[in-house]
Structure 1
Amino acid sequence: MAKRNFIKLVQVDKKGNTIMDPEGNPKYDTFITPTQIPFRKIYDAADLMDEASAEELSAKENIDQMLDMVVDIYNNQFTKDDLLDRMHAPDTMKELQNQIEFVGQGQMDEERKKELAKMI
């Protein structure tokens, strides 16, 4: 079975407000990685991690590259602006890092594996 991952982005209305369900919880759009992620993406992810650890980039440049990488991993199922506008700020950096690490190492935590198994 192919290793897959997912990302959830909050649903927003035309004004950018979060759409809530009847219980008052945010609604999400869930995106699943393609069944085949080319090795080139791992190769590119390694460069990104090297640059970040060497502190060659500003914080914003590093975030921009991470956002671009995640959009690329998911074959443009969403945009960089979607990530900027539809992710919860306190969780975003960890989520972006987890997405890139998944491509680079093919690993995810058990809770995430269980949630993914329910989706596919």
Structure 2
Amino acid sequence: MKKNYIELITEVDKNGEVKDKKVYVTPGFIPFSKLIEASTVLESVEEKSEMEGLQEMLKVVCDLYNNQFTPEELKNGLHAPDAIETLQAQIEFISTGKVSEENQAKLKEILK
């Protein structure tokens, strides 16, 4: 079964340098019902403000990972310049199963 991962920064020093990060792997089985729920939530995002939509995306990604982390941990653990792209890639994974080549290679290392 396909898996994906997300890496969140958990500690930064006073100079803004990463001191620690944690890797989370998707569950081995993601029920189709999660995709349906995520699709329903994300469809409703179009009617909401950009910030409300972002909050919904955070919740969807947390749910995808069976709430191994909270939306707050997700917000604080993503590097701002990459955050939206990372969230979109996670949502794309649940809807298409697509995992980037870079993530596939890193996942092989993680799962050893």
Name the TM-score class by shorter chain.
0.7 to 0.9
Equivalent position of 1:10 in the other structure: 9
Identity %: 37
How big is the alpha-carbon RMSD for the aligned residues of Structure 1 and Structure 2? 1.8
Aligned residues: 109
- CA shift at 1:26, angstroms? 4.2
Structure 1: give runs of 5+ residues left out of the alignment.
13-17
Give the number of the structure whose residues are more often strand, by fraction.
2
TM-score, with structure 2 as normaliser: 0.87
TM-score, with structure 1 as normaliser: 0.82
Structure 2: give runs of 5+ residues left out of the alignment.
none
- Partner Cα distance (1:80, 1:31) in 2: 14
Query: Structure 1, residues 76-113: CA drift from partner, whole Å, max 9, x if none?
Result: 11111101111111111110111011001101111111
Equivalent position of 1:72 in the other structure: 63
- Partner Cα distance (2:109, 2:24) in 1: 13
- Partner Cα distance (1:80, 1:25) in 2: 20
- CA shift at 1:27, angstroms? 2.5
Residue 31 (structure 1) aligned with residue 24 (structure 2): yes
